[in-house]
Amino acid sequence: MTGMNRTARAVALVGFVTATACGTALNYPGLAGPRYAGEAPGVQREATPRAPEHVRLVTWNTHFAQRIDRLIELLRTAEPAKHADVVMLQEVDAKGTGRIAEALGMSYVYYPAVVHPITGRDFGNAVLSRWPIVEDEKLILPHHGRFRDSQRAATAATILLGDDSLRLYSVHLSTMVEVGPGSRREQARTVLADAARFRRVIVGGDMNGVGVGDEFLACGFLWPTKDNAPTIHVFTWDHIFLKGLVLNDSAGTGVVDDDVGASDHRAVWAVARLGPSPDADAEPPTNAPGDSDRLQGCAALR
């Protein structure tokens, strides 16, 4: 189930020897890769004949994917995360992503952002899907971390559901130590600028803060996970945002209580259904008197 860019990987590992000497990350600045992708045996290659009644979503920061067997156990057995249709993973490498996708019978695409100086392994985001991935892309996010010089990237993928396409993003924004809140908002806006091309969008991942969610609200996204329970210690930093979809019901999102020791983050889930088709070419909303300038910021992306 694995495809890889071996040349890019080899070049990165040579540079990593130098990078680790000063404790910095080795970035993968190229948009083309390294790229890893796989298709589950027997997956339907064409679009689904009609859109499903609902789509079960999971996003999870795996903490360097150190406990793959436990990650797989939770994703296969924990209610209500099991039987997910889309899984967005952060802090994974190619080997771990491939093992998880194979165990779940899902197709996947994975783009590492850096070789992490702590683990010496690739570090990035993956999208897994029960439906075939027909397009994928790596988005380089702005700003380098203060101390390790790491640059984040988002993994984007498109799947087909009946007559509709669904754009997916697995996102891991920089930590508070690496960049300030304004820089984290600019990273979110990079994702939003790309997402503006699509009518139906799901963004999931570790936002490393709460305020960045306002950027998604200003661009017309729903933020169903805003009031979820904490996902790491006392903080609720892992979220799902929806455009062109709505929660299946009022209890359609939550946090998996027992992470079986798989990660320092808890998995977040949501069950959504396709909502009224938004107009991708519609003008963004305008500010009402007294509003902040965040809507103007979203309008600037269009």
Q: pLDDT digit string (tens) for 283-300? A: 444 444 344 444 445 745
The answer to the question of residue 1 being in a domain is no
Q: How far is the first Cα of the chain from the last one, in angstroms, to the nearest whole number?
A: 37
Mean of pLDDT values over 210-218: 95
Q: Is residue 84 part of a domain?
A: yes
In a domain, 25, yes or no: yes
Asked if residue 215 has pLDDT above 80, the reply is yes
Encoded amino acid at 164, one letter: D
- Tell me the whole-structure pTM to 2 decimals: 0.86
Q: Looking at the 3D structure of the chain, how many domains does it have?
A: 1
Question: Token digits for 169?
Answer: 């993003």
Q: Residue 145 domain-assigned?
A: yes
Q: Tell whether the model's pLDDT for residue 4 goes beyond 90.
A: no
Predicted local distance difference test score (pLDDT) of residue 69: 96
| Distance (Å) of CA 49 to CA 52, 76, 134, 162, 272 | 9, 26, 15, 5, 19
What ranges make up the beta strands (E) of 183-283?
Answer: 201-206, 238-243, 245-247, 253-255, 268-274
The model's confidence at residue 163, banded by pLDDT at 50, 70 and 90, is confident
- Rounded Cα–Cα distance for residues 207 and 115 (Å): 20
- What's the CATH number where 103 sits? 3.60.10.10
**For residues 18 and 39, which has the higher predicted lDDT (pLDDT)?**
39
Whether the pLDDT of residue 100 is over 60: the answer is yes
CA distance 60 to 205: 7
Whether residue 264 is contained in a domain is answered as: yes
Asked if 168 and 157 touch (Cβ cutoff 8 Å), the reply is yes
pLDDT at 52 over 80: yes
Residue showing tokens 């269009």: 302
Domain annotation covers residue 33: yes
Residue at 258 is within a domain: yes
Q: Is the pLDDT of residue 229 over 80?
A: yes
Phi-psi region at 110: left, alpha or beta (left = phi > 0; alpha = psi -120 to 50): beta
Q: Which helix (H) or strand (E) holds 15?
A: helix 6-21
Domain membership of residue 168 as a residue range:
6-301
- Picking from 19-23, 62-66, 220-224, 234-238, which range would have the lowest pLDDT averaged per residue? 19-23
